[in-house]
Structure 1
Amino acid sequence: MDEFSFIRAIQPKYYKHSSVIKGIGDDGAVIQPSSGTQLVIATDTMVENVHFSLEYMTFEDVGFRVLAANLSDLAAMGSQPVYYLVNVSSPHSISNDELIRMMNGMKELADHYHMDLIGGDTTSGQELVITVTVFGEVQPNKKRLRSTAQPNDIVFVTGYLGESGYGYQLIQDGYDESNRYFHQRHKRPEPRIDFVEVNQSIQRLCLNDVSDGISSELNEIVQASGVSILINWDRLPIHPSMIELEHKRLEKLVLSTGEDFELVGTCSRSDWEHVQTNCKNNGINVTKIGEVLAYKHQKPTVYIEKNHVKKRLNQSGYQHGNDKGD
């Protein structure tokens, strides 16, 4: 990697936000925070052959996916994306041109949300490792936290569940143009910033992004909020093309595979109608999947009802530190 030519190639010609006093080109970026907002910061690291593979993804796909995963965290916090930093460690076998293609994949998504690249770092290593840090702005009273679910809330989720995992399985089976939709859902997920934008009027939303599997995300919500949740299998949104999959396979995809980067959350019953209307008017699929129980257990628990039988839904999604293999 030629660090200096790489930096010159990715340095923005201008910055979209006037709050960027100094971006790339010095020892640090200088930002003037917007008045009346709070800064949300999220970071994520992706490693080749753990979180992505260049065997079936282009460098542009990799860049897009890494940034999308970070933006999903900002969406779950209710914030609007503004800046990002990128740290890259790459082997000598990857050229500057290929790394620039990866950055262009990020830029495609960043431009959509009017984000500025304000810095980062490069180094050489044995494998391609990418760390992205994103910054978002949020009004102090509109933070969307895991800890704000309340008894009698409606539990909802955006989009369909299990599509990314199914797309990955289809990719492993061999490319078929008829499955392109699912391939793209795995390679180029779309963070639900749109849901946050259209629901600014809702005073309280508890949100979590579906990165590790909905079973994991719901358990994080009940632990943070000190409540219990009951969801119904028959209400979970599943793409029509997946309905006929073998049941155990479908169950794992929907509940545990993750990386759909949809949003799961809760809101008051009085606000649910407004959330539905806001989403419908903006082409966002949102589904009621359950409710926060009206009583609090000594131990917060997630339950799933299937075939009229209620069982505990354990935290069975992807856990960091375990190789995911994709």
Structure 2
Amino acid sequence: MNLENYFISQFKSEHIGDDGALIKQNVYSKDAFFENVHFKHEWMSYYQIASKAMMINISDAVAMNAKPKYALLSVSMPPRITKKQMKELASGFKDVADKYGIDIIGGDTISNVKLDITITIVSQTKKPLLRSNIKKGYLIAFTGELGRSKKDLKKLMNLGKIHKKSKFIDIKLRDKFLSNAERFLSSGMDISDGLFSDLDKLSSVNRVGFKFNTKILKSIGCSGEEYEMLVAFDKRHKKAVLRRAKQSRTPLNIFAKSVRKRYVNCCKANHF
């Protein structure tokens, strides 16, 4: 058990274990976006930093087939920040919030040596998509293309430049696909720690392993911050799910099925 999982295990709650905490029809989710951990100023504008911080938090709501309603922002800012930069940050938060119909209802601001952001999203759902409910023989698929985020991060770390539409900066969520296919999906989560690492989470919850029908390179399977969807469904629903993916113009890659065997994650932990 890595240190992150060990720490989480100290809190015994039936609501911990999905992309957000489901309480009745409400979903509560929260993620951090910290300078020198998740980003550097040289890589992104203040507008892009705020936009991505919002998007990675909305991703948790979308992953649970929930509609985000409210946001609470906590922003720690260094004394060197200018009013112009503050306006850029605020515009990034507001533009993404407006796009998804979210009301920013409060939060906290403090002085700090660097720019750190945490956001709480409150969402609502009538048909939540959880990480559980995978049975033997279910098909496992991911949306979109994986691997690009890790490649672009490597470029940035080597002082290179990436396109402003790079997935590392400009995240595209799969909310239309999920809402269209909700009747047929049994399980889902967003791919934030990498495909192989997130499969490990599904494996633990459902006590299943996976038989791959296509080879996935480690460089792709270990690429984090993709924010694509990882979903499972009964093979009887394959045509229906593929049809709805096509309708929402969502590439869907069926790459494995669930089996009764142990799953081993080959990726290095992203956190501790």
TM-score by length of 2: 0.85
Where 1:148 maps in the other structure, the secondary structure is coil
C-alpha spacing 1:159/1:51, structure 2 compared with 1 (3 Å): same
| Aligned with residue 148 of structure 1, among 119, 126, 133 | 133
C-alpha distance in 2 between matches for 1:161 and 1:146: 20
* Counterpart selection for 2:49 from 39, 42, 62: 62
In structure 2, the residue matched to 1:163 is: 148
Match of 2:163 in 1: 180
Give the Cα separation in 1 of the matches to 2:111 and 2:266. Answer: 36
Task: Kindly provide the amino acid, as one letter, of the partner of residue 118 in structure 1.
Answer: I
Which residue identity is paired with 2:152? G
The residue matched to 2:167 in structure 1 has which SS? Answer: helix
* Map of 2:66 onto structure 1: 79
* Matched-pair contact (CA < 8 Å) for 1:148–1:205: yes
User: Matches of 2:152 and 2:214 in 1, distance apart?
Assistant: 21
Preserved contact between residue 57 and residue 121 of structure 2 (Cα < 8 Å):
yes
Deviation at 1:170?
A: 2.8
Q: CA deviation at 1:174?
A: 5.2
1:256 aligns to 2:222 (yes or no): yes
Query: Which of 259, 276, 281 is the equivalent residue of 2:247?
Result: 281
Aligned equivalent of 2:10: none
With over 3 angstroms needed to count, the CA separation of the structure-2 counterparts of 1:279 and 1:163, relative to structure 1, is same
Q: Deviations over 1:87-140 (max 9, x none)?
A: 01111011233122112112222222111111111011111110011111111x
Match in the other structure for 1:137: 124
Q: Choose between structure 1 and 2: higher helix proportion.
A: 1
Q: Note if 1:224 corresponds to 2:205.
A: yes
Distance in 2 separating the partners of 1:82 and 1:196: 17
Residues in 2 aligned to 1:54 and 1:194: alpha-carbon distance in whole angstroms: 32
Once the two structures are TM-superposed, the CA of residue 156 in structure 1 deviates from its matched residue by 0.3
Q: Provide closer, same or farther for how the CA distance between residues 285 and 317 of structure 1 changes in structure 2, counting only shifts above 3 A.
A: farther
Give the C-alpha shift of residue 207 in structure 1.
0.6
SS at match of 2:68: strand
Counting only pairs closer than 5 Å after superposition, residues 167-316 of structure 1 correspond to structure 2 as: 167-173=152-158, 180=163, 184-202=166-184, 204-234=185-215, 236=216, 251-293=217-259, 296-297=260-261, 301-302=262-263, 313-314=264-265, 316=267
Gaps of 5+ in 2: 1-23
Residue type matched to 1:165 in 2? K
Deviation at 1:146, TM superposition (A): 1.0
Listed one character per residue, the Cα deviations across residues 164-201 of structure 1 (whole Å, up to 9, x for unaligned) are 1112223345556xx527x6211121222222222233
Q: Does 1:319 align with 2:262?
A: no
Gaps of 5+ in 1: 1-36, 237-250, 303-312
> Which deviations, in whole Å up to 9, do the C-alpha atoms of 1:277-325 show, x marking residues without a partner?
00101111111011011xx34xxx33xxxxxxxxxx41525433x3xxx
1:246 matched to which residue of 2?
A: none
Once the two structures are aligned, what percentage of the paired residues are identical?
26
CA distance 1:231–1:317, change in 2 (3 Å): farther
Tell whether 2:40 aligns with 1:53: yes
Residue type at the aligned position of 1:213: G
Quick one: distance in 2 between partners of 1:96 and 1:220?
42
Tell me the SS of whatever aligns to 1:224.
Answer: helix
Matched to 1:187, the amino acid is I
Query: What amino acid sits opposite 1:197 in the alignment?
Result: S
1:79 and 1:143 in contact (8 A); partners too? yes
Instruction: State the shift of 1:219 in Å.
Output: 0.6
Higher radius of gyration, 1 or 2: 1
